[in-house]
Amino acid sequence: MPSDRRPRRTLAALVVAAATLAGCGSADEQPTGAAAVPAALEQPTTLTFWTWVPNIEKAIDRFETAHPKIKIDVVNAGQGPDHYLRLQNTLDTKIGAPDLAQVEYFALPQFATSGKIADLTPYGVTDLKDRFTASAWSQVLVEDRVYGIPQDTGPMVMFYRKDVFDRLGLEPPTTWDEYRQAGQRIKREEPGTYIASLDPVDFGTVGGLIWQAGGRPFTNRPNKSVGVNLTADAGVDAFAEVWGSMLAEGAVEPATQWTDEWWKAMAEGRYATWVAGAWAQANLEKWIPETSGQWAVAPMPRWDPAKPTAAEHGGSSVAVTAVSKHKAAAVAFAQWLNSDPEGAASLNADVRLFPATKALLEDPAFREQPAPFFGGQPVNQVFAEASRGVSADWQFLPYQAYANTVFDNTVGKAISGESDLGTGLGKWQESITRHGRENGFTVSSP
């Protein structure tokens, strides 16, 4: 994720046989088909690309050098809610809409289901499948159609404070049982220090923990049929039992992330670990550089020691808008930016996005690169192995953006201590189910 990543506050208002030759017209008379994509690179075209990713101009300069007839007009329309709200509005009015836009995986089904972004399947993009990790590719599919090109992923790992662990003679926990025990000891021997914080506002971390535990609380089926199961899912139950216990014991502190207070606490070593996506590396380096040398990276603790699994938190794609008049050229640019070896390498080296492409993840030079902030540890090895272990069958709701807005008023209140996690998850399920039915979805829930 971008180095200035912010929490996933999202907006309640956001609800919501391929041709093979260039020249085979679609409904809006634009060429489609796999051959139309390279052909579009030879036509003078200016594409507007909405993205919040800092320094992405470096990658775009490389593209424009390789393909001088295509110009990319980069627009930063905000991030998170601001980005999505403006995108939704321009796509509704068809005034000022971009040709391409950055869309996080959790929001992609919502834009696809509402017809705001283009189905890229007719442009032959399914041939790109093997270039990406299975989990990244699965997250750009909606009803087996491709609606975006994966850009980055957020394989989850455990960042931990070496100074705290060394001081207490603790080894990095490899299971959640060990993690809980480490939290109890930290609380006992260093009052005021916690094994971790848990954000009552942002679903991202909780979702990743449930994902890793094997939970699949959301299903997105054809014909606006969805499933919501937050009360009878074994993975959800595992998360609620372990993290609910740690919250009750005072080993985990409820705390809203990304605030100045939270970063101050992180810098002071108040939280001994941060279970987060690989993007957290850039954030630690940017926001608390004074802690350089005090951190290390280990795999996420396991639920079953015999079955190592991983999950993701975050990650995004590049989607082509349904109103674009240059879809083939837009597809060509999105393909190059995210799957071409030069484009993917630039996104990682110049922009600090964690790669979604298998070639870069397996590149020895990438994996063995020492990270000075982490005392020279080759942290990409840990990130890459985590990426390899992510199960590809996680799904988001087609109105996940709305669901995330009511997380803080249900599960978040439980994290903050107003109830147990099971009660909070039940209230979230009720809210999500009611909203879906009120907006034309067929929702099944226990």
Check the CA dihedral 137-141-146-151 and report its sign. Answer: negative
**How large is the angle between the packed helices 327-339 and 341-349, nearest 10 degrees?**
60
Render pLDDT for 251-293 as a digit per residue (tens, 0 to 9). Answer: 999 999 999 999 999 999 999 999 999 999 999 999 999 999 9
Distance of CA 421 to the CA centre of its chain: 23
* Cβ atoms of residues 173 and 301 within 8 Å: yes
Q: Where in the chain is the domain with CATH 3.40.190.10?
A: 35-153+314-362, 156-311+376-444
pLDDT tens per residue across span 309-333: 999 999 999 999 999 999 999 999 9
CB atoms within 10 A of CB 19: 18
Distance CA 11, CA 117 (A): 18
pLDDT of residue 172: 97
- The alpha carbon torsion through 325, 331, 336, 337 (nearest 10 deg) reads 70
Q: Which two tokens stand for residue 202?
A: 């942002």
The contacts of residue 123 (CB under 8 Å, 6+ apart) are 18, 32, 33, 34, 36, 37, 327, 328, 331
Token reading at 364: 């020895």
Phi and psi (nearest 5°) for 148?
-170, 165
The pLDDT value given to residue 410: 98
pLDDT of residue 37: 95
Tell me which H or E stretch contains 422. helix 421-438
User: Hey, is 167 helix, strand or coil?
Assistant: helix
60's tokens = 């775009």
Percent of the chain with pLDDT over 70: 93
Which CATH code is given to the segment(s) 156-311+376-444?
3.40.190.10
pLDDT at site 5: 47
> Which amino acid, one-letter code, is at 286?
K
Q: Is 41 helix (H, G, I), strand (E, B) or coil?
A: coil
Domain 35-153+314-362, CATH class in plain words: alpha beta
